[in-house]
Structure 1
Amino acid sequence: MRLKPIALSTVVLLSLAGGGWYLQQHKKSNPGVDSAAPANPASAASGAAGSSSSKSPPQTVGVMAARLQDVPVTVEASGTVASLKTVDLRAQTSSVVREVLIKDGDTVRRGQVLFRFDDRPDRANVERARAQLARDRASLADAERQYKRAQELRAQNFIAPSALDSSQAAVEAQRAAVQADEAALRTAELSLGYNELRAPMDGRVGLISVNPGSLVQGGSAAATPLLSIVQMNPIGVSFNLPETQLAPLLAATRAAPGEKNPPALDAQLLMPSARGGSEQAAKEQPLKGKLGFVDNLVDSSTGTIKVRAEFDNSQQTLWPGQYVRIRMTLRTIKDAVVVPQAAIIQRGNERSVYVVGADKSAEMRPVQTRYPFGDWVVVEGLKAGDSVVVEGKQNLRPGTPLKTQPAQLNPAQSGGGKRGAAASAASAASSASAAGA
């Protein structure tokens, strides 16, 4: 019975010896197997993940090349068309309207007769003044003859010196009377001229408030209003700019060193179109003008300053009181690098873009934005021709392989040519000063 356990132990020992011999032979035939094995399962999993990442398909993105162009620095604001000159006409003499020589809304020229009043009383006054002048001139001639005769008599001692003095005083009195008569005649003729009311300037008349036969009061603050005339050409557009725009505006109006005359600032009106209220009319028929006036005070209650631009209005497309939007070019940034604003990535105060690298992978490039206009922005940190990612940048990481295609921009976004689109008044207010820096 004791032989059976001994036999079993012998079999187990032989099996262990055979297994050890097999492992030793396997190591000799496959050297370095232990060193190639991963230190732990986590390292193996990480290596497998990296291998699959390097073999992932490239991500499709929309790209656009950075452009090199001149960009106008503009400000845009809402304004109101205002006539540069407005005159309210009133009668200077109380009379009855005899003729109205114009109609409501007529265009008149300077010096054109508009009204005629009943001038019969004033004509009579002119005739009376002329008659008085003629009488006093005759009296003056007689007094001068008497004085000459008195001088001859005094030379012969036929009259006393006092008689000669009296004759001389009579001559001087008559001369003064003649001068008074001449002044009275001029006054009467002036009053007669008030019976014809002429246009003081070129312009367009408004509603006429009197008719032939109307009695008008004149010559006082309560004088009867007749009509108003507004100058239509040239015409102004008044608007307010935030005080942050004052420094760039004044800088743009100063003459450059060595030049006498300051540069003329261009202004453009954006007028609503009759086909739906858009601003297409400005593109179809642009109205260009110049800066005419900058107020001498900033309104402390609103933080704005009043500005006025002047425009040619020979076609009378602008009307006083009309609402318009105005765009004014302060200066031009020469050879600026511009990209779509959609390409900008903002993290806090830092801004960057993804650029397609030479190996067709994503490369993050820090940039500085200088001036936004429309859907574009002037940047520093890129070169013209750099291919920037506009679409599909949300899931990108530096080094991500890319498959590029042209970015699709709608017509509103593609307005960044030489002309450039204007920023809104709020964005222009903050960025024009940055552009000047």
Structure 2
Amino acid sequence: MLTRDTQISESSSTTPPGKSNNRIVSLIFIVALVAVLAGFAYFTGEHEKKLPEVKRAAVVRVAVVEKANVPRVLKALGHVEPMSTVAVRSRVDGELVDVLFAEGDRVKRGQRLFTIDPRPFDEAIRQWSAKLAQAKADVSKCRSLIAKDRSELARLAANREKDMAEEANARRDHARYQELVKEGAVSVEQENRYATNVASLAATVKADTAAMENEKSVIQSDQAQLEASQAALKAAESDLQTAQLQRAYCSITAPMDGKTGALLVHRGQMVKAGDTSSLVVINKVKPVYVSFSVPEQDLPRIHELQKQHPLTVGVEGLSEHVGEVRGTLTFIDNSVQRNTGTILMKATFANENEVLWPGTYVKAVLNLDTLYDATVVPTHAVQVGQQGQYVYVVGPDNKANLVVVKVKYSDGNTSVIEGNLKPGEQVVVDGHMQLMPGSAVDIQSGAPNETLLGTPSGTQPGAPAATQPGASTEARPPASTQRSAP
């Protein structure tokens, strides 16, 4: 039996010699062709490597370095607060019978707002008036009794004085007759009559004294009654005054000029004295406060500038038709908030047009001073790298040169630069990611140069600092104070 290998061997041995030679020639041709193609590809690649690379210019936008007078400011999130807020409450219990204003009305100090039913208080006034009249009558009666008792006491005192004088005379006569009896000039009966007279007068004087003591007791009793009546009179007067005051409280008036809020009670409702809920809330909106906080490290400079002149505060972010809104810094808190490292301040605004509304948030701008003849560039022209702050300056050859600078101050849009920048030079404001020192640039066609903010150098600012062109209108994060100064 033949195996598979034997069959294959036999088959091969039977292949004609011509076909084997053709296969060898074909194999050699294929190898040669591959070698030629590989050589061509190698030499072509080397040639391409030797060709110079053509670099494309970076497309950028530029701004011109300028000289300007730049106001220095501190910007912070501000909160508008009313100058005064009063929650109007009732001082007496009763039914609200009248509301004399409409919600949102502007009211004047002393203007009547509410009326509480006065009838219970009128009745109380009548009752206490009657008690007061009775107390006055009691006092008058007590005083009359005391006057009468004192007159009686005076009469008793006069009688006693007379009786005491008569007793003294009788005693002298009795003593004289006692001597005459011894001499035998008069009888004993005559001397006894004088002795009896002395005893009678002595008894009369004793009775007078007892009557006087009794009258004094009566006077003391009347005096005590008078004091009680006077106390009752004072109590009645006080109670009547209280009733009259409560009656006056039935008419509730505005405690200050201001604007009323929503009406919290309505006609027919019962109100109570001391209730925590109010009838209406009045806010004084002219003037108003704007409160804001600044970092504690700025406090020394603020104190120093405030000694020189009052510091003004502006407001940003209002409607264009509102115009300039300006106030004055009037309050600096007496301590720094430990959890934030900031200090609370308040500015007072006249708010004549009522553009600042209590409860709203605004961007407060505290104006400090002005940097005159400063070198300025747009803030986004300044980049930060390992070498610090720098800008790219585009030279006459349209190449970007890296120049290290130092930002002295920034208001968010404009930065004041200390460094080797000259007015008229062009700095890159857009396209930094494509640049390296010496990179060729292509200033973007049709893109206007960046306009800088600030008052041109050599011109005195005509407007206050907050409204000069140097003041930023860029939005600030609401979470914390935005420091414009470095």
TM-score by length of 1: 0.68
Q: Does 1:310 align with 2:387?
A: no
Aligned counterpart, 2:311: 265
> What is the rounded CA distance, in whole Å, between the counterparts of 1:397 and 1:406 in structure 2?
25
> What is the rounded CA distance, in whole Å, between the counterparts of 2:396 and 2:323 in structure 1?
46
Distance 1:285 1:368, change over 3 A: same
1:162-181: per-residue Cα shift (whole Å, max 9, x none)? 22222322332222222222
When you count helix as a share of all residues, which structure comes out higher? 2
Aligned counterpart, 1:35: none
**Quick one: percent identity of the two aligned structures?**
30
Deviation at 1:266, TM superposition (A): 1.9
Partner secondary structure for residue 88 of structure 2: strand
Distance 1:170 1:262, change over 3 A: farther
Q: Is the CA contact 2:315–2:363 (under 8 Å) kept in the aligned structure 1?
A: yes
Q: Does 1:230 align with 2:283?
A: yes
Q: Counterparts in 2 of 1:11-410, with a 5 A limit? A: 64-77=64-77, 79-156=78-155, 157=157, 159-160=212-213, 161-212=216-267, 214-221=268-275, 225-241=278-294, 245-248=295-298, 250-254=299-303, 263-273=309-319, 280=320, 285-295=323-333, 300=338, 305-344=343-382, 346-353=384-391, 366-382=404-420, 385=423, 387-390=425-428, 408-410=448-450
1:374-408: per-residue Cα shift (whole Å, max 9, x none)? 332112235774634447997686799x99x9993
Given residue 373 of structure 1, which amino acid in structure 2 is its aligned partner? D
> What is the rounded CA distance, in whole Å, between the counterparts of 1:187 and 1:324 in structure 2?
48
> What is the rounded CA distance, in whole Å, between the counterparts of 2:87 and 2:481 in structure 1?
39
Partner secondary structure for residue 150 of structure 1: helix
Kindly report the root-mean-square deviation, in angstroms, between the aligned alpha carbons of the 2 structures: 3.9
**Higher Cα radius of gyration:** 2
Deviation at 1:101, TM superposition (A): 0.7
1:226-255: per-residue Cα shift (whole Å, max 9, x none)? 2221221112334455xxx2221x224425
Deviation at 1:110, TM superposition (A): 1.0
1:206-229: per-residue Cα shift (whole Å, max 9, x none)? 2223333x131312346x632221
Deviation at 1:150, TM superposition (A): 2.2
> What is the rounded CA distance, in whole Å, between the counterparts of 1:143 and 1:123 in structure 2?
30
Partner secondary structure for residue 181 of structure 1: helix
Q: How many equivalent residue pairs?
A: 355
Deviation at 1:295, TM superposition (A): 4.5
Q: Is the CA contact 2:453–2:470 (under 8 Å) kept in the aligned structure 1?
A: yes
Q: Is the CA contact 1:136–1:174 (under 8 Å) kept in the aligned structure 2?
A: yes
Task: Mark the runs of 5 or more structure 2 residues left unpaired by the alignment.
Answer: 1-51, 53-59, 158-210, 456-467
Q: Is the CA contact 1:86–1:229 (under 8 Å) kept in the aligned structure 2?
A: yes
Partner secondary structure for residue 336 of structure 1: strand
Aligned counterpart, 2:195: none
Aligned counterpart, 1:57: none
Q: Is the CA contact 1:139–1:174 (under 8 Å) kept in the aligned structure 2?
A: yes
Partner secondary structure for residue 129 of structure 1: helix
Task: Mark the runs of 5 or more structure 1 residues left unpaired by the alignment.
Answer: 1-48, 50-59, 274-279
Partner secondary structure for residue 225 of structure 1: coil
Distance 1:195 1:270, change over 3 A: same
> What is the rounded CA distance, in whole Å, between the counterparts of 1:85 and 1:381 in structure 2?
50
Deviation at 1:62, TM superposition (A): 5.4
Distance 1:100 1:221, change over 3 A: closer
Partner secondary structure for residue 159 of structure 1: helix
Q: Is the CA contact 2:394–2:428 (under 8 Å) kept in the aligned structure 1?
A: no
Partner secondary structure for residue 389 of structure 2: strand
Deviation at 1:159, TM superposition (A): 3.5
Quick one: higher RCO (CA 8 Å, sep 6+), 1 or 2?
Answer: 2
> What is the rounded CA distance, in whole Å, between the counterparts of 2:290 and 2:89 in structure 1?
27
Deviation at 1:431, TM superposition (A): 5.2
1:112-139: per-residue Cα shift (whole Å, max 9, x none)? 1001111111112112222222222222
Given residue 409 of structure 1, which amino acid in structure 2 is its aligned partner? N
Given residue 314 of structure 2, which amino acid in structure 1 is its aligned partner? Q
Partner secondary structure for residue 134 of structure 2: helix
Q: Is the CA contact 1:91–1:218 (under 8 Å) kept in the aligned structure 2?
A: yes
TM-score by length of 2: 0.62
Distance 1:110 1:298, change over 3 A: same
Distance 1:109 1:376, change over 3 A: same
Partner secondary structure for residue 168 of structure 1: helix
Q: Is the CA contact 1:340–1:390 (under 8 Å) kept in the aligned structure 2?
A: no
Distance 1:113 1:345, change over 3 A: closer
